[in-house]
Amino acid sequence: MIVLDGHSHCGLTVPFAELKREWDLGEIQGGVVFSPVEEIYDRCDFSFIDSEQYRRSRERVHTYLLELARRGNIYPYFFVWNDFATAGKGFAGIKWHRHPDEPVYEYGTRRCEEAIDDICSRRLPIVLEEEFRNTLSFLRRIAGRTVVIIPHMGALNGGYFRLKAAGVFENENVWADTALAGEGEISDFAANYGIDRIIFGSDYPFGIPSHEKEKLYRLFRADALESVLSGNLRRLLKIPSDSV
C-alpha cells in the first residue's frame, strides 16, 4: 500500500535525511513537506513583524524544499508570513500557521487579501493552524474557494469538538489531518463525515511517522486505509497513481 505523509516539517534545521530515515522506517514513500516554524518567523517575539534575516531564511528554506521535490514523491507547501509573498511555481499547497502566544498575521491589510485571493484562484490547499476565532474568520474569507486542511484534527485550532460544534466540518471544503490527533477525534470525524476528507500526517519531528501510521491501522479497515494513507492526498493534489 502506498503511504504519503500529509504533514511533515523539513528544512535547513530539520534536514531531509532525518525525515527520510523516519519515513523509511515506517514504509512511507514520500509526502508533504513544509518549513519548520523557526525558519519563517521569530515565534518567541509576540511583537515580531519581519526582518531581513527572516526574509532571507524564508527564501533559503523554500528553495531547499523545491529542490527536494525533484526527487519525486515530495510535495512542498509554501509557508505564508506577513510579507504575504506569492507561492512560486512548484508549490503544491500552503502552510498558514500561528499559536496564540506568537506574532499575529496582519489580516486587515490589502496584501493579506491579495495573497488569499491568489491562493484561492490557484486552488492551492491550505493547512491552517490558528486560534479558534481566527480559524472561523479565515474560513469565512476563503468561502469554499479552496480546500482548507485543519491539522491535528483541530487540536491546536481550539479543539476538535469545539470546531465540530461550530459546524466547521460540515463544510465539504474543510478537511483534517491526523497528525498527533487522538483516536477518538479521528473516529468521530470518520463516523460523522466519512473518510474522504481525512489525510494521514505525522507532524515530524514532533511526531514519529511510523507510530502515527500504526495508529490508523488500529482505527480503519483495509478498504479505508488506502484513502486515508494516500488516496485522499493524491486526489487533492491531483497526483497520478502511476507517479508514486
pLDDT in tens, 173-208: 999 999 999 999 999 999 999 999 999 999 999 999
Phi, psi of 222 (to 5 degrees): -60, -40
Residue numbers in the chain where pLDDT is lower than 50: none
Q: What is the pLDDT of residue 193?
A: 98
Sign of CA dihedral 75, 5, 73, 41: positive
Termini Cα distance of the chain: 11
CA dist 8 and 186 (Å) reads 18
pTM (global) more than 0.95:
yes
CA dist 13 and 97 (Å) reads 18
What is the side-by-side order of every strand in the sheet holding 4-5? 4-5, 30-33, 74-79, 93-97, 126-129, 148-150, 174-177, 198-199
User: Looking only at Cα atoms, what is the longest distance across the chain?
Assistant: 50
Q: What is the pLDDT of residue 242?
A: 72
Q: What is the pLDDT of residue 241?
A: 75
CATH assignment of 4-243, among 3.20.20.140, 3.30.360.10, 1.10.1660.10, 3.40.1370.10: 3.20.20.140
Q: What is the pLDDT of residue 240?
A: 83
Q: What is the pLDDT of residue 243?
A: 74
Q: What is the pLDDT of residue 211?
A: 98
